[in-house]
Amino acid sequence: METVRIYRLNNIPQSVKARIREAQMEAARVWNDCCQIHREARQSGSRWPNRDDLQKAAKGRYALHSQTIQMICHAFLANVDTTRQVKKNNPKMRYPYKTKRFYPLYWPEQAVSIQAGRVVLPMGRGRKSIVLKVDLPKNAGACKIVWNNGYELHVAIPVEIEKTIGEAKATVDLGQIHQAAVVTNTGHAVVVSGRGIRSIKRYRDKELGKLARMQARCQKGSRRWRKLQKAKNELAVKTSRQIRDLRHKGTRKVIDFCKEQGVTTLYIGNPDGVRTNRCGRKHNQRMSQWEYGKDISYLKHKAKAAGIESFTGTERGTSSRCPVCGHHQKPKGRTWQCRKCGFVGHRDVVGATNMHRIAYGEKIEFPSKITYLRPGKTRNVVVAATRAKVV
């Protein structure tokens, strides 16, 4: 299996930046031409272009490596395929139609050449290759150059699937205050705090609001307006990277715990449905910013690499039932207090405990040992960065 590693390309020379930009515009032209060919075929009712047709039409016409062009054609056809599938249920869905200005650059594994301390990305015969000073591992594969408020190099790296020994089962309850609560049927539980992520988000929202209010007083497009816009973008990407980092670290803690406990099957409760409830402006914003889909996909990816089988399913009703007597009540606050038998326990751990019944059809005891973890350190680097820009 593969994993993607991201390298920020902060210190590349201006000339290389200009070439990447130019190449990305060229790639966008390939995409736009694919769109055009496809649109014509659709409107004239003739056969839709396939891989060979698109590649034949594109051959030798662009200042890119031939495999880069091929990858764009494939991506386009994959997009058309997905649209056709989605269109069955949602007729409003449109085939690719937007004219793109930029498109990421791809190189499949066989086009990339890795040398000591640098990577060479070919641009086609007769053109200078893009050479980046990035120290990639020897086994690195396909590369992609993406714009994400600055260029990034995304590299596919093969990882070996580990073997986890044991037959324990675990469930995960995802949350916001606690990113994840894991309960195994061996009587252990881990709670990973999500407070770090929450505080970064809160800080970001407040600062973005401030900047937006300042911007509202400027004329749109003025120098100060642009300056504020830049500060907004920088704050947004910086915080999103911090959040992503914590999210990865938190899910890593979950999987490490599972490995240690000999867990081989993992059930991830899917909070769909919780999110659609309307509960006021503040809560709604919090809910809409909760990226549990990412948590699920990170957990699945990491579980797979660790040799743990994972699956998702509903978590309906798990947080409102007492794990001891089965009494049904609406939980209040962070600790679950049963009004019937007097049981007291951690709210998210209760959810994960009850999930065992849905996932594996067995009722387990409330865990006797709960470990609390933080995903990682949260550093306050953002504060200084924005202060300097705006004041």
Interface positions with Zn ion (CB under 5 A) = 322, 324-325, 327, 338, 340-341, 343
We find the least distance from the C-beta atom of residue 369 to Zn ion, in angstroms, to be 21
Q: How many Cβ atoms are within 10 Å of 101's Cβ, its own excluded? A: 10
Q: Which is nearer to Zn ion, 104 or 345 (CB)?
A: 345
Supply φ then ψ for residue 106, to 5 degrees: -115, 145
Cα 265 to Cα 171, 178, 316, 367, 391: the distances in Å are: 9, 22, 20, 18, 52
Shortest distance, position 327 Cβ to Zn ion, whole Å? 4
Place of tokens 């060979």: 52
Nearer to Zn ion, 21 or 363 (CB): 363
Cβ 354 to Zn ion shortest distance, Å = 12
- Only one residue has tokens 């994972």, namely 310
CB of 206 to Zn ion, least distance (A): 40
DSSP codes joined into one string, 28-75: HHHHHHHHHHHHHHHHHT-PPP-HHHHHHHHTT-SSS-HHHHHHHHHH
Q: What tokens appear for 299 in the block?
A: 């957990």
Which of helix, strand or coil describes residue 289? coil
Structure tokens at 239: 């915080």
CB of 357 to Zn ion, least distance (A): 15
Residue nearer to Zn ion on the CB measure, 208 or 324: 324
Phi/psi of residue 373, nearest 5 degrees: -130, 155
Q: Which is nearer to Zn ion, 305 or 324 (CB)?
A: 324
| Whole-angstrom distance, CA of residue 306 vs CA of residue 164 | 7
CB nearer to Zn ion: give 112 or 183. 183
Q: Toward Zn ion, which CB reaches closer, 151 or 336? A: 336
Cβ 338 to Zn ion shortest distance, Å: 3
322 vs 349, beta carbon nearer Zn ion: 322
CB neighbours of 199 closer than 8 A, spacing ≥ 6? 378
Q: Considering the complex, what minimum distance in angstroms separates the CB of residue 297 from Zn ion?
A: 35
